[in-house]
Amino acid sequence: LAKTTQPISMDSYEGQEVNITCSHNNIATNDYITWYQQFPSQGPRFIIQGYKTKVTNEVASLFIPADRKSSTLSLPRVSLSDTAVYYCLVGDRNFNKFYFGSGTKLNVKP
Amino acid sequence: DTGVSQDPRHKITKRGQNVTFRCDPISEHNRLYWYRQTLGQGPEFLTYFQNEAQLEKSRLLSDRFSAERPKGSFSTLEIQRTEQGDSAMYLCASSYPRGESSYEQYFGPGTRLTVT
């Protein structure tokens, strides 16, 4: 089961672009990379998922280099409401089980 | 679609007592997951069901823990002879396959267990 490593915390200001990088050196061929967001006292919420190159949706972009040993979640123009913990996890296509890790606590300042 | 619901939201129990939590997944979701989360840590996978079959169990799920999903709908997680170390948030999630994508999980609000 591929484990992930993320920075413990990051600070940013409103309106800035935030990039959170996750290391997953032991990622397997069939593994997908998924990012979740979690607010205090709530369950995690799916943000984005990818396998390779770049994926973009209405809230974020996910950049995955060719070797797939890391990935970067990009949040454009963050606001105070983006203050949360962000988890990177990897799992096979069937996602039979996950490893969430400790996540990155993002603090957005005014 | 009302999302994943969990009941109760909070539970305080004395050490040694049994507790049972319930999770109602999003209808038509065939997968249901249970996680445990302690303060400052990410969710730890406990077990998951595909329909009524329990397909995977973590080593974290000791003999005191049991989960069921009768008829492939709601699920229950029971902890017998609770210990103070069981104090945590218990999260439930459900999902369904989406073509080439993985099983995106939708999480419930969790049940916070405090063992005194």
Cα–Cα distance for residue pair A62/A53, rounded to 1 Å = 8
Given pLDDT bands bounded at 50, 70 and 90, which one contains residue A105?
A: very high
Instruction: For residue B102, give how far its alpha carbon lies from the nearest alpha carbon of chain A (Å).
Output: 5
Q: Is B110 on the interface with A (CB under 8 A)?
A: yes
Q: Is A35 on the interface with B (CB under 8 A)?
A: no
Report the residue of chain A nearest B108, measured CA to CA.
Answer: A43
| DSSP string of B88-107, one letter each residue | EEEEEEEE--BTTB----EE
**Cα angle for residues A85, B48, A50 (degrees, 5° grid):** 50
Question: Does A102 contact B104 at a Cβ distance shorter than 8 Å?
Answer: no
* 3-state DSSP assignment of residue A80: helix
Q: Is B95 on the interface with A (CB under 8 A)?
A: yes
Q: What is the pLDDT tens value at each position of chain B, 116 positions in all?
A: 579 999 999 999 999 999 999 999 999 888 999 999 999 899 998 999 999 999 888 887 889 999 999 988 999 999 999 999 999 999 999 988 766 555 688 999 999 999 99
Cα–Cα distance for residue pair A2/A90, rounded to 1 Å = 6
Q: Is B103 on the interface with A (CB under 8 A)?
A: yes
